[in-house]
Structure 1
């Protein structure tokens, strides 16, 4: 008996919000595109307006403008896990003891995601990654107070980090400062959790050259739905 050529009723249809295709690009169903996005260009959506921007402009202009209206922002680095073997040393993070890609995250005082950097190999330290993307310089020039962890020691400018030293050896005043600092930074973990709530980013099995595009697509979707 010849096989039927009719389309199976059980075949899955593409979701209305689109899907991530080859190269990490997002293919939209035209009738359900989120506001502020199109096929080829990312948009940052803010309560006031949206405009076309590039990833580089996103750091120095759009995000700095948004962040300047906040009481302060929180800068943190997170590792997106990837499937690599032990020989891929550039992607191995000594801090997390596994392979991954380093992305820098900026959150507001309520832990809401504002911006995510392009991805770098996991072996890159947070402060080096922040300097590579020009984040520290941009935040300092804009005069934006920023809380960060010990991974950003030496950043200076408007970047505030906890005092170095063991808890038992620190004076009471510095202990109080570090305790308050930790409580503020803990809110920023919500932005990392928001980013990793996307199953696609929990463990990436694609080429590492595609990860930045995937992260940017997720950021656009998140900002569009939060607006």
Structure 2
């Protein structure tokens, strides 16, 4: 049984069989530029065929705030979407980078400076460990070639980011 975010029951054998077929097809047509492995692509195809899941539904469990037009600083974008206020209202703590200094009590940021000692240095080290998963997810998103060449409505950009997150979290 293969666990999948939308909760389908799927045999590993079916998944492997489709992945093998996709691998052969890619070789025949000479297709090399695909972000997804054949296994991940097979998983999404089977999720669609088994449950009728659309990309929007696959992305429903992922979090990505709406895109804003133009170049907007991270903290400004977060405030525009009401994220610091929502975190404070829900008494939820989050860990952010130094750019979020002054975002509010719910947003924890590292200490500034290169010559930190003692508990401040330990705080920054622990802070970096906590943030590493989010940083990895962001780095993965930046690898998607589609996002560098995307010229469309910001609502559509948000949907594309959510779909990409769903694809990345599928395995």
User: Which category of TM-score, normalised to the shorter sequence, fits these structures?
Assistant: 0.5 to 0.7
TM-score (ref. length: structure 2): 0.58
Which of residues 125, 130, 146 is equivalent to 2:94? 146
Counterpart for residue 68 of structure 2: 120
Distance 1:208-1:171 versus aligned 2 partners, 3 A rule: same
Which of residues 211, 216, 219 is equivalent to 2:157? 211
Q: Where is the helix percentage greater, Structure 1 or Structure 2?
A: 2
Distance 1:180-1:29 versus aligned 2 partners, 3 A rule: closer
For the pair 1:186 / 2:132, whether they are aligned, the reply is yes
1:20-57 Cα offsets, whole Å, 9 max, x none, are: xxxxxxxx989945857338767524xxxxxxxxxxxx
Distance 1:171-1:120 versus aligned 2 partners, 3 A rule: same
Distance 1:136-1:35 versus aligned 2 partners, 3 A rule: farther
In structure 1, distance between residues paired with 2:159 and 2:59? 13
Which of residues 41, 53, 61 is equivalent to 1:37? 53
**Structure 2 gap ranges (5+):** 1-28, 32-43
Residues 147, 159 of structure 1: 8 Å contact kept: yes
For the pair 1:162 / 2:107, whether they are aligned, the reply is no
Residues 36, 43 of structure 1: 8 Å contact kept: no
Q: Where is the strand percentage greater, Structure 1 or Structure 2?
A: 1
Q: Which runs of 4+ in 1 moved over 4 A?
A: 28-31, 33-36, 39-43
Secondary structure of 1:120's counterpart equals coil
Residues 37, 43 of structure 1: 8 Å contact kept: no
The alignment covers a number of residue pairs equal to 132
TM-score (ref. length: structure 1): 0.46
In structure 2, distance between residues paired with 1:116 and 1:36? 23
